[in-house]
């Protein structure tokens, strides 16, 4: 079969790690005898600086014609940090109803993570972050910012439909894993929106009696990420909590540069988008030292979604072998460059 892939480089290290990821994807495509028709899009904050927008006006219609979007990250120090999310990331997630953000947290063999007292098998769970509602709907206003009485408000929005659909996805995922789901919430203090979130999730939980259901407040959950990560299998949480916890999860894996993610439209009415959990890392961009693994692993998630599960498993296996051989980039304490890490990964394929 043939799949059409839109490769959106974005900014910063996106220009280094997306091409690395594409090399790996093309190699497994050859091996497993399917075709990836890739088109590259030079969109992002650099385009905003020159052309006034992150993507062309018909950008969403362009992406719609593809089977999946393979994305780096957007954002540059010269561009207002509110814009990348508003004008690209959230726009795509929302337009393509990518209401699931799928983020595995897994300690790879060979990585010397910060949790010295944990084994690789202790850190192996998935964060499902609600991806199009909640705290990030950007509905607010700043009033009289420069005046002494100035104030600002911002409203969270949670719909029954939005909660139900991500909850069903999460419980079904738990069924395929270790049958444990933890709802990470903060309903003891956000007593309307997250109280409602909890109520709807508890109703859905009743429909999955075979999945062990537990509710945990995010402050306590943060401690458990460090002290007892083995208690987690599938975590279901909100947009902002999931954003924060996935960087913490990435840190427990040893580096933000390792974490993959999928912005998924489970109904497949629209393309899904796959990107590493980290940003454009302008502090290390252009040096050839970025860790490509989060991007490459995101490619494996993309192939899995496209139905090429054997090829996806091959990529994950090659990642485990590479890291297991202590081929480590600088963020993991090694000296391997992006290009070297990619070519060693290719050898393992
Ligand atoms: P960041 O994730 O880009 O970087 C945080 C730290 O992790 C930096 O020290 C960076 O060097 C390091 N790091 C990240 N990825 C790495 C990799 N693959 N290899 C080695 N080291 C890596 O987060 P930061 O600095 O808060 O944001 C930078 C820009 O990225 C901002 O403009 C921000 O808005 C944007 N951003 C974009 C996202 C997206 O497009 N989805 C997500 C998060 C941030
Ligand atoms: Mg984030």
ipTM: 0.98
Residue 342 lies in a domain: yes
Number of H helices, E strands in the chain: 12, 12
- Answer whether 99's CB lies under 8 Å from 162's CB: yes
Q: Do 132 and 199 have their domain in common?
A: yes
What is the number of the ligand 1 atom nearest to the C-alpha of 45? Answer: 32
Residue 16 lies in a domain: yes
Q: Do 229 and 203 have their domain in common?
A: yes
- Decide whether any atom of ligand 1 lies within 6 Å of the 84 Cβ: yes
Q: Which residues pair with 336 in a beta bridge?
A: 329
Name the DSSP letter for residue 107: P
Closest CA to 115 of 223, 277, 227: 227
Which tens digits make up the pLDDT trace of 148-198? 999 999 999 999 999 999 999 999 999 999 999 999 999 999 999 999 999
Q: Which domain holds residue 19?
A: 1-113+253-349
Rounded to the nearest angstrom, the distance between the alpha carbon of 278 and the centre of ligand 2 is 6
Q: Do 192 and 94 have their domain in common?
A: no
Residue ID of nearest Cα to ligand 1 atom 24: 279
Rounded CA gap, 200 and 6, in Å?
36
Residue 119 lies in a domain: no
Residue 30 lies in a domain: yes
Which tens digits make up the pLDDT trace of 246-280? 999 999 999 999 999 999 999 999 999 999 999 99
Q: Do 96 and 58 have their domain in common?
A: yes
CATH of the domain at 161: 3.40.50
Q: Do 229 and 267 have their domain in common?
A: no
- Decide whether any atom of ligand 1 lies within 6 Å of the 293 Cβ: no
Tell which of 181, 215, 239 closes a domain: 239
Dihedral-angle region of residue 151 (phi above 0 means left; psi in -120 to 50 means alpha; beta otherwise): beta
pLDDT-derived band at 3 (thresholds 50, 70, 90) equals very high
Pairing mode of beta strands 180-185, 151-157: unpaired
CATH of the domain at 54: 3.40.718.10
SS3 301: helix
Residue 244 lies in a domain: no
Name the DSSP letter for residue 329: B
Q: Do 79 and 136 have their domain in common?
A: no
Q: Do 142 and 235 have their domain in common?
A: yes
Rounded CA gap, 257 and 248, in Å?
12
Specify the pLDDT at position 341. 97
> What tokens were used for 216?
């945990």
Q: Do 148 and 220 have their domain in common?
A: yes
Pairing mode of beta strands 234-237, 180-185: parallel
Tell which of 239, 270, 287 closes a domain: 239
Rounded to the nearest angstrom, the distance between the alpha carbon of 75 and the centre of ligand 1 is 9
Residue ID of nearest Cα to ligand 1 atom 10: 281
Q: Do 93 and 171 have their domain in common?
A: no
> What tokens were used for 116?
């010295």
How much is the average pLDDT of 135-140? 96
- Burial class (CB within 10 angstroms; exposed 0-12, middle 13-18, buried 19+) of 211: buried
Rounded to the nearest angstrom, the distance between the alpha carbon of 303 and the centre of ligand 1 is 24
Rounded CA gap, 256 and 194, in Å?
28
Residue ID of nearest Cα to ligand 1 atom 12: 281
Number of compact structural domains in the chain? 2
Tell which of 185, 204, 239 closes a domain: 239
- Decide whether any atom of ligand 1 lies within 6 Å of the 75 Cβ: yes
- Answer whether 23's CB lies under 8 Å from 292's CB: no
Residue reference for tokens 């139905």: 307
Hey, which of 248, 278, 341 would you mutate to test ligand 1's pocket, going by the most ligand atoms within 8 Å of its Cβ? 278
Which tens digits make up the pLDDT trace of 277-312? 999 999 999 999 999 999 999 999 999 999 999 999
Closest CA to 237 of 228, 248, 227: 248
């Amino acid at each position: 079969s043939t799949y059409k892939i839109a490769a959106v480089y974005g900014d910063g290290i996106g220009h280094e790690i997306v091409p690395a990821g594409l090399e790996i994807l093309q190699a497994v495509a050859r091996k497993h005898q399917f075709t990836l028709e890739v088109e590259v899009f030079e969109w992002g904050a650099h385009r905003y600086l020159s052309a006034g927008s992150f993507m062309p006006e018909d950008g969403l219609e362009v992406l719609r014609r593809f089977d999946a979007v393979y994305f780096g990250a957007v954002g540059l120090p010269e561009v207002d940090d509110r814009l990348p999310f508003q004008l690209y990331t959230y726009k795509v997630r929302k337009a393509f109803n990518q209401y699931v953000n799928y983020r595995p947290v897994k300690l790879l063999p060979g990585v010397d993570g910060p949790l010295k007292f944990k084994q690789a098998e202790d850190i192996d769970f998935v964060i499902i972050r609600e991806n199009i509602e909640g705290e990030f709907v950007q509905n607010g206003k700043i009033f009289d910012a420069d005046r002494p009485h100035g104030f600002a408000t911002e409203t969270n929005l949670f719909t029954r439909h939005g909660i139900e659909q991500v909850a069903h996805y999460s419980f079904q995922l738990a069924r395929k894993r270790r049958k444990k789901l933890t709802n990470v919430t903060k309903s003891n203090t956000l007593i309307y929106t997250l109280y409602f979130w909890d109520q709807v999730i508890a109703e859905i939980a009743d429909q999955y009696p075979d999945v062990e259901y537990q509710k945990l407040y995010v402050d306590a959950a943060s401690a458990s990420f460090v002290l007892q990560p083995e208690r987690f299998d599938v975590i279901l949480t909100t947009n902002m909590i999931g954003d924060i916890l996935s960087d913490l999860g990435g840190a427990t894996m040893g580096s933000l540069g390792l974490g993959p993610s999928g912005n998924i439209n489970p109904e497949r009415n629209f393309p899904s988008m796959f990107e590493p959990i980290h940003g454009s890392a302008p502090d290390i961009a252009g040096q050839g030292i970025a860790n490509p693994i989060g991007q490459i692993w995101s490619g494996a998630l993309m192939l899995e979604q496209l139905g090429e599960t054997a090829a996806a498993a091959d990529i994950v296996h090659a990642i485990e072998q590479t890291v297991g051989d202590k081929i480590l980039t600088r963020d993991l304490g090694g000296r391997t460059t992006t290009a070297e890490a990619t070519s060693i990964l290719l050898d393992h394929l």
